[in-house]
Amino acid sequence: MLTTGRQDAHEFAGLDDWWFLIRVVDAPSGPLPERHTLLRDRGPYTLDSERVLLRENAVDVLVTKNSGSDLVSAKLAAARELGVEVLMVERPARPAGVPTVPTATAAYAALVART
């Protein structure tokens, strides 16, 4: 199962001996693996729905991004319960000198503080 997003799905186009369940919000524009099923869906997902999806599709490997979001927790918990191997793509490093804030509320406060 591939949940890295539409922008990275093309990276797996050459793995034609594998079948992929590719879950994305928006359809990928690049090439895809020859053997795949495209599932366009948007979370949040529940633990129960993720279990069903993994079981019904006989998923044995989950490739996902570390989005830093709670949205992935049900997917990871279901994979752990079912013994599905997980490959996690790391988040890119933050650019040097770019201020960061933990939440949208903190971003709002930072903008207000600038005025």
What pTM, to 2 d.p., does this model score?
A: 0.77
Q: Which residues pair with 63 in a beta bridge?
A: 2, 87
The pair of structure tokens assigned to 41 is 């869906």
What's the pLDDT tens digit per position in 12-21?
999 989 999 9
Residue whose pair of structure tokens reads 């997980």 in the numeric block:
86
Q: What is the pLDDT of residue 66?
A: 79
Contacts of 5 (CB under 8 A, 6+ apart): 24, 25, 65
What's the pLDDT tens digit per position in 15-46?
989 999 999 999 998 999 999 999 999 988 99
Burial class (CB in 10 A: 0-12, 13-18, 19+), 41: exposed
Total of domains in the chain: 1
Average pLDDT over residues 48-68: 92
Query: Domain range holding 90?
Result: 2-114
Residue 15: closest CA among 87, 68, 75, 74: 87
Q: What is the pLDDT of residue 70?
A: 57
C-alpha distance from residue 89 to each of 1, 63, 67, 78 (Å): 13, 7, 9, 18
What's the pLDDT tens digit per position in 82-111?
999 999 998 777 788 888 888 899 999 988
Q: In what order do the strands lie in the sheet with 20-24?
A: 36-40, 20-24, 2-3, 61-65, 85-89
